[in-house]
Structure 1
């Protein structure tokens, strides 16, 4: 049986303050219907219960007294059912009040030096303890006994190393953690054994997630769990943060990583309407917010908009464009049904480190119109790579691709069995590579590996010895060396240096083009078009046919998104046999002539579909 959340849906989250318990349910539902949402994520229980809980370890919201019924959840569920709108419950078990923290110290987070984590009068609890391991299920049972909720989301289910103010409290040393953990607990991220503890913490959370899923499946199988990448619905929060460098493709990357790993599992992108947690009353810029939803739906995620309070209390400036895009998704439900990735190239995302290398290769593929998916390195052996013609490996170290026979382009210190090289030396620092050039005046930034290739491999881009770079009178003496900057063996290519980082940090087109040319030669596919590099092409396949999103990234600029400049008209070559294309945004049927389609002008985005 196909469950409701396996079809496209659109969510709106009202993250309620305690003073919002008296909200006008019908007024909120009026707004949601006009907005295009069909699912309401409502604050239900945990820190505060917006229903008359009878559990002695839960706190009834005192503002429920403002409601004649005394029950916000009950009122919302009944009213939403009359309109065919689903209600999902937001639960937050991350904190308890002072009284219960005193009564149950074994539930609480304890820092390495014995301190609890207290924030605005609430004490953080630990997932190892019985509040999560036992009491959470009692809350779910009470809610399910009373209300036919359509799903659950558990907020901030983590070990809470860092609080709202970004203060690092270290690793939890509570009694339960000490009993569960095999060995001495580390103090924090700079302590010996921290990586082993991280694995332990992930295991605890994965086990808890699975138990919640199993519990809901037994009680109410039509109510999914929204959480990490092992839940019924994968959750991604698209947000901004003060002080964090903007990666313009964060949402697209996250959704692609989830859909590449498990294409048929729904993803929910909950897009934050405010700028940052300390600035919850400040609206996100509309152009920025639009990218959250656009990147989400292009990669196959369900769009969700998240605000504080109610729309009438907090009419964020970004809500108008959010509604436009949500209604677009609603009006093309069949196009987004079962939308899965259809790219022929996959870019592996490193577990940690090497992010500039990954991001530089990401931008290179995007700008040269090579459609690609993102695959987390830790999921490399969970995916059938045979569905891809090309795998890109950014500075990953040793990698086992098993029997994969398609093209490979690797960079940096990546090692693959199909291209065995002997590594003679490594230049890893800025000082090591300063003034290092390859043939043709190609500069090297980041790191360079001196390798001895197999005798049957082809090589190129040989290094030039370093020479003085100042004063000008002394700038000479670069001598030709035998150290290759590229090694090719069949359809496997190695750039033994950080060509992606070079492009990400300096932006020279020569780095991008050297890399992408090798990708195409080794089996990657570039879309033939005269569209400029500012148009991102996302290739997917759904129940309606082939779906191509054309995203106008001309507004990507320093730490923000500006209004994009309209692009076009332009042409795009299509596969043989396609006779007509439907452009959903412009509402045009476009004929195909000699394999080419003439595209309409592209504003924020366009969506093409053909069978």
Structure 2
């Protein structure tokens, strides 16, 4: 029996109108018409939660005071959306209540250790374990779902939120519900701070995870019990039908802005979704504190280019309606949505054809503070992301959240290489799955402390992976200022190289059969210049350890070249890792020519769909500025077995591939690339 089609598995373009109370006077018919003309296929509109945008019958559910008596703005909007051919997604914010709810049941809401409620702008943060989350908010949800035949339901800010809208940290909730629930689960008191120096903190991370998943399941079950056809949008951390992630700046984050956030989120959505549709809502504004300061149109286009290159659907987020005080990006976004409407069949519900996986470990991120290299965890991951992208190696995320799936062997079999950038925390189940994949022929490349801690952040006696060329770390050295030397022809280098090393090196006990490559040099003297030469040329340890395991190989770099690449950007560290990767597989596509561009290759999830190559141009991003990018000319695309003609979806041109060369690649000249280009490959390449 074939699976019934659902609308969110077709190309969609959502515009989220995050309404203010004063928007009660809007004209639903005009808004629906604007949405359709803008290029949306669905619109997100307020239902209830903090405030009801309809005549609620629940005493503790605050009604929007700007509504006229008996006015049903949500119902009017649903009718208007239907007339315009738009899907409507109901927006619920069940994360907070107003003063009337707090006064009636303060025990439903978050209180820190000092007993202070988490209040902001007259709203109170609901505790995941309190009666608002487990009961009253579900009454609100039932009322809304029973009233309105919504196409989808979106839930804002679910889960634990220890920071308020101003970014002020309010502390761990110590309400009676959390205290009792934590004691029942772990037999101890709640931690007093979110830090591994508190012995209860590792348990608290698990407590938050379990209770958040339970809360998401309650919401999902409530919707589905009333309207099975309503699609539940989730954040990827609980039950849902399709996923909605969000891209925004946060001025509190260290500058410069991480320009790969859209691609990172989309890859994560694909990795954990198991084939579900996913979108990454692009916020129109700079940050929460400045919701009327619009992003540049060029930043939105870079975001969209990354998203579609990783298979994401489209979601655009406005505060209020289309009548924005800073409307500059709207016309460009409108043009993109029209283009997406014409070409979405080639862009959505696709799967990556990458043969390289970048390991994404939620557990390592959570428990990084328990490891020696905790402060380097994020930038090590981002350095690996950057070097793969800049080496033009198509890649996916391999998520630790899927490693206990029954079909994990099938999932991993898609990859020839998996890169694990300083991934300290690894469970026994993860290790078994990765060892089996290596034994079957995969190449695992790992750095730093990978697998030297368990999934709770406890240090192991040795590495978790049996396939690893080292048994255990015997000494962790920090603050080194030296080099790793590569000989001519070693690890892919055409000429001898000195790669600088600043920071960590891990002396490790090698297993029998492990081979050493590259040499750690003794610490160097760097001043005065007359004395800057090594007196002892003997190596102080290997730069690379590698060992065959079954049909595959595991490669260990006992330092952090990817972290150094993120910080310094010297090509030697990128070349080291890219040489190791490229020696283990043959990419399906190659891109030649100068310019800061990314390449991916995708195909339809089901059937024998046409292969699609995406090229994304980053030339408009400089530090924290996103401006109009100069076009990138002179790019050439090489594809294995692509002899024939292809079509470009942005420039609308036809390109021709030449005959295969000795290495099997057929090459074609690409048109100039501004924001991005999408190439439908000839059928011969399928």
Measured against the shorter chain, the TM-score band is over 0.9
Counterpart mapping for 1:267-286 below 5 A: 267-286=278-297
- Partner SS state of residue 517, structure 1: helix
Structure 1 residue matching 2:44: 3-state secondary structure: strand
Cα distance, 1:373 vs structure 2? 0.4
188 and 318 in structure 1: CA distance in 2 versus 1, 3 angstrom threshold = farther
Range with bigger deviation, 15-24 or 69-78: 69-78
Extract unaligned runs of 5+ from structure 2: 369-376, 451-462, 487-496, 660-665
Shift, 1:164, TM fit:
0.8
Task: Mark the CA change 1:413 to 1:344 in structure 2 (over 3 Å): closer, same or farther.
Answer: same
2:138 is aligned with 1:115 = no
1:244 corresponds in structure 2 to 253
What residue in structure 2 maps to residue 22 of structure 1? 25
CA distance in 2, matches of 1:581, 1:451: 50
Q: Which residue of 2 aligns with 1:385?
A: 412
Give me the TM-score of the superposition, normalised by structure 2: 0.85
CA distance in 1 between counterparts of 2:34 and 2:202 reads 46
- Displacement after TM superposition at 1:452 (Å): 4.2
Deviation sequence 1:312-342 (CA, Å, 0-9, x none): 1445322222222222221113212421222
Residues 98/397 of structure 1: CA separation in 2 closer, same or farther (3 Å cut): closer
> Is this contact kept in 2: 1:445–1:501, CA < 8 A?
no
Q: Which residue of 2 aligns with 1:9?
A: 12
Distance 1:332 1:294, change over 3 A: same
Q: Deviations over 1:252-297 (max 9, x none)?
A: 1111112023341011211110111110111112222222222222
Q: Which one of 439, 446, 464 corresponds to residue 521 of structure 2? A: 464
CA deviations over 1:372-391 (Å, ceiling 9, x no partner): 00233343444421111111
1:91, CA displacement in angstroms?
Answer: 0.8
Equivalents in 1 of 2:204, 2:468: separation in Å?
35
**Is the Cα–Cα contact under 8 Å of residues 435 and 466 in structure 2 kept in the other structure?**
no
Q: Which residue of 1 aligns with 2:494?
A: none
After superposition, what is the alpha-carbon deviation per residue over 1:397-449, rounded to whole angstroms, capped at 9, x for unaligned?
A: 3751141031111112224322332456444433xx12344343221123112
> Do residues 448 (structure 1) and 505 (structure 2) align?
yes
Match for residue 350 of structure 2 among 339, 348, 360? 339
Report if the CA contact (8 A) 2:272-2:401 is conserved: no
2:481 corresponds to which residue? 434
Q: How does 1:398-413 map to 2 (within 5 A)?
A: 399=426, 400=431, 401-404=434-437, 405=440, 406-413=442-449
Q: Which residue of 2 aligns with 1:560?
A: 625
Specify whether residues 203 and 454 from structure 1 end up closer, same or farther in structure 2 by C-alpha distance, changes over 3 A only.
closer
Greater CA drift, 352-361 or 449-458: 449-458
1:438-517 equivalence runs, <5 A: 438-439=485-486, 440-476=497-533, 477-481=535-539, 483-490=541-548, 491-517=553-579
SS in 1 for 2:382: helix
Note the C-alpha offset of 1:540.
1.2
RMSD: 1.9
Among residues 361, 371, 390, which one is paired with 2:384 in the alignment?
361
Match for 1:370 among 384, 390, 393? 393
- Tell me the distance in 1 between the aligned counterparts of 2:144 and 2:473: 63
Is the CA contact 2:292–2:324 (under 8 Å) kept in the aligned structure 1? no
- Determine if the alignment matches structure 1 residue 420 to structure 2 residue 469: yes
Aligned to 2:192: 187
CA distance in 2, matches of 1:554, 1:506: 19
Question: What is the deviation of 1:159?
Answer: 2.2
Asked if 1:607 corresponds to 2:678, the answer is yes
Aligned: 1:287 with 2:298: yes
Unpaired segments ≥5 residues, structure 1: none
Aligned residues: 607
* TM-fit CA distance, 1:555: 2.0
Q: Distance in 1 between matches of 2:92 and 2:285?
A: 20
Secondary structure of the corresponding residue to residue 403 of structure 1: helix
Note closer, same or farther for the CA distance 1:398–1:26 as it changes in structure 2 (3 Å cut).
closer
Of stretches 520-529 and 241-250 in structure 1, the one that deviates more from structure 2 is: 520-529
